[in-house]
Amino acid sequence: MDKKITPDSVVAQNEGYIASNMDGEKVMMSIKNSKYYNLGEIGGAIWDAAVRPIKVSDLVTHLQSEYDVNREQCERQVIAFLENLQKEGLIQSGKGSEVM
Protein backbone atom coordinates (compact mmCIF):
# COMPACT_ATOMS: atom_id res chain seq x y z
CA MET A 1 0.00 0.00 0.00
CA ASP A 2 1.32 3.45 -0.90
CA LYS A 3 2.07 5.90 1.91
CA LYS A 4 0.23 9.21 1.90
CA ILE A 5 2.54 11.97 0.74
CA THR A 6 2.51 15.17 2.80
CA PRO A 7 4.77 18.25 2.93
CA ASP A 8 6.75 16.49 5.69
CA SER A 9 7.30 13.34 3.59
CA VAL A 10 10.70 12.52 2.17
CA VAL A 11 10.75 11.16 -1.40
CA ALA A 12 13.43 9.62 -3.57
CA GLN A 13 13.70 8.01 -6.99
CA ASN A 14 13.54 4.25 -7.25
CA GLU A 15 16.27 2.60 -9.30
CA GLY A 16 15.80 0.93 -12.66
CA TYR A 17 14.87 3.85 -14.91
CA ILE A 18 16.69 5.41 -17.83
CA ALA A 19 15.92 9.13 -18.13
CA SER A 20 16.77 11.64 -20.83
CA ASN A 21 15.95 15.22 -21.79
CA MET A 22 14.11 15.62 -25.09
CA ASP A 23 13.18 19.11 -26.28
CA GLY A 24 13.13 20.46 -22.73
CA GLU A 25 11.05 17.62 -21.30
CA LYS A 26 12.17 14.66 -19.20
CA VAL A 27 11.29 11.25 -20.64
CA MET A 28 12.18 7.93 -19.13
CA MET A 29 11.82 4.22 -19.55
CA SER A 30 11.35 1.59 -16.91
CA ILE A 31 13.81 -1.26 -17.37
CA LYS A 32 11.54 -3.47 -15.23
CA ASN A 33 8.29 -3.13 -17.21
CA SER A 34 9.47 -1.45 -20.45
CA LYS A 35 7.00 1.44 -19.96
CA TYR A 36 7.80 4.94 -21.19
CA TYR A 37 6.96 8.05 -19.17
CA ASN A 38 6.94 11.69 -20.27
CA LEU A 39 7.36 13.77 -17.12
CA GLY A 40 7.38 17.13 -18.91
CA GLU A 41 9.55 20.06 -17.92
CA ILE A 42 8.41 20.62 -14.33
CA GLY A 43 7.93 16.91 -13.71
CA GLY A 44 11.50 16.48 -14.89
CA ALA A 45 12.66 19.09 -12.38
CA ILE A 46 10.84 17.18 -9.63
CA TRP A 47 12.41 13.90 -10.81
CA ASP A 48 15.89 15.43 -10.88
CA ALA A 49 15.46 16.88 -7.37
CA ALA A 50 14.48 13.43 -6.04
CA VAL A 51 17.76 11.83 -7.16
CA ARG A 52 18.57 11.84 -3.41
CA PRO A 53 15.99 11.81 -0.61
CA ILE A 54 14.35 15.24 -0.36
CA LYS A 55 11.63 16.58 1.90
CA VAL A 56 8.51 17.56 -0.09
CA SER A 57 8.39 21.02 1.52
CA ASP A 58 12.02 21.62 0.44
CA LEU A 59 11.14 20.48 -3.08
CA VAL A 60 8.24 22.96 -3.16
CA THR A 61 10.57 25.76 -1.99
CA HIS A 62 13.05 24.84 -4.73
CA LEU A 63 10.34 24.90 -7.42
CA GLN A 64 9.03 28.25 -6.18
CA SER A 65 12.50 29.70 -6.68
CA GLU A 66 12.46 28.48 -10.30
CA TYR A 67 8.82 29.09 -11.31
CA ASP A 68 6.25 31.81 -10.65
CA VAL A 69 3.73 29.90 -8.52
CA ASN A 70 2.23 30.44 -5.07
CA ARG A 71 3.19 27.97 -2.35
CA GLU A 72 -0.27 26.45 -1.78
CA GLN A 73 -0.87 25.75 -5.46
CA CYS A 74 2.67 24.44 -5.94
CA GLU A 75 2.40 22.13 -2.92
CA ARG A 76 -0.94 20.69 -4.07
CA GLN A 77 0.33 20.02 -7.58
CA VAL A 78 3.67 18.59 -6.43
CA ILE A 79 1.97 16.19 -4.00
CA ALA A 80 -0.50 15.05 -6.67
CA PHE A 81 2.37 14.48 -9.12
CA LEU A 82 4.42 12.59 -6.52
CA GLU A 83 1.42 10.41 -5.65
CA ASN A 84 1.16 9.45 -9.34
CA LEU A 85 4.87 8.63 -9.45
CA GLN A 86 4.43 6.55 -6.31
CA LYS A 87 1.50 4.61 -7.81
CA GLU A 88 3.69 3.80 -10.82
CA GLY A 89 6.49 2.63 -8.51
CA LEU A 90 8.85 5.37 -9.69
CA ILE A 91 9.53 6.85 -6.24
CA GLN A 92 9.54 5.78 -2.64
CA SER A 93 8.42 7.90 0.30
CA GLY A 94 8.79 8.01 4.05
CA LYS A 95 8.72 10.34 7.02
CA GLY A 96 11.68 12.35 8.27
CA SER A 97 14.92 10.90 7.00
CA GLU A 98 13.29 7.48 6.51
CA VAL A 99 12.62 6.57 2.88
CA MET A 100 11.50 3.00 2.40
Res 3: pLDDT: 79
- Distances, alpha carbon 66 to alpha carbons 39, 45, 72, 75, 91, in Å: 17, 10, 15, 14, 22
Mean of the pLDDT values across residues 6-15? 95
For the chain, percent of residues with pLDDT exceeding 90: 71
pTM of the predicted structure, to 2 decimals: 0.87
Nearest CA among 47, 10, 46 for reference residue 29: 47
Q: Are 72 and 57 in contact (CB under 8 A)?
A: no
DSSP 3-state of 55 = strand
The runs of H, that is alpha helices, within the chain are 40-49, 56-66, 71-87
Q: Tell me the pLDDT band of 30, cut-offs 50, 70 and 90.
A: confident
